[in-house]
Structure 1
Amino acid sequence: MLTSLVCNGVFDKFPELQFAIIESGFSWLPHLLWRFDQNYRSLHLEIPWVKQLPSKHILERVKFSTQPTEDFSAANWLRLIDMLGTDRLFVFSTDYPHWDFDAPEESIPAELPADLRRRILYENARDLYARKLGADL
């Protein structure tokens, strides 16, 4: 679905569109962005309506829910954020009321810096919905 959004020009046609992808994990994302950009550079004539690198579209316009989190340690979270170059992609989700829901104190490592935890648990979702609503939350 994510590759279709980019390759079909959805983000180019709707420049204000923000998108949230839920329940897909995200450890695959650095590889996808790298590979997607490599293929775009060599095959961009196949999709001339896409005006910028796929990674730029995704990093600026898409959020990923933390449920299910791939049981990341704090070190793995920091490594992933470093590979992606941003901490603004992840929005906390619980999957409540399912029996295997993710409690915030268990799914986001306490060892992460407080500002990063706050960004994942609250600020990224606030920014996503504030833009959608045209509000300043």
Structure 2
Amino acid sequence: MKFDAKKHKCTIVVDQDLNVGLSMNAASVIGISFGKTISNIVGPDMQSQDDVNYPGVIYSPLPVLKTTRKSVMDLLSVAEQDEEIHCMPFSALAQSCKTYDEYGERINSTNSESIELVAIGLVGPKKKITKLTGNLPLYN
């Protein structure tokens, strides 16, 4: 997917029952994954008047919302059916691993129906993302 801030919207939705540390971990991992998987979502570096470099940031707002864990799973089901929506699911399994190798081993030996999601990132047409997430409150 090539991101266009005029057409697309992105958001992260986190399980409202996660503690603050795990919620911030989930949101940050999804944000990093967005930067890797979605072209043109991060703008170029900027320089201040005194030539201090500030790395590029996302082209649009990235709200972090909250909902129930079931609703996170429901969002994935809907998003997976729409080829215009890019979804980035994040699991409790990932948060329970100490290394990426452990994560790989455990996820490769687990059926996806058994994997509980604790957050999801969504990027797609503004109207579609708003329809899916517009009623959810901001994480606070």
TM norm structure 1: 0.24
TM-score (norm 2): 0.24
Higher normalized strand content (fraction of residues): 2
Higher relative contact order (CA 8 A, sep 6+): 2
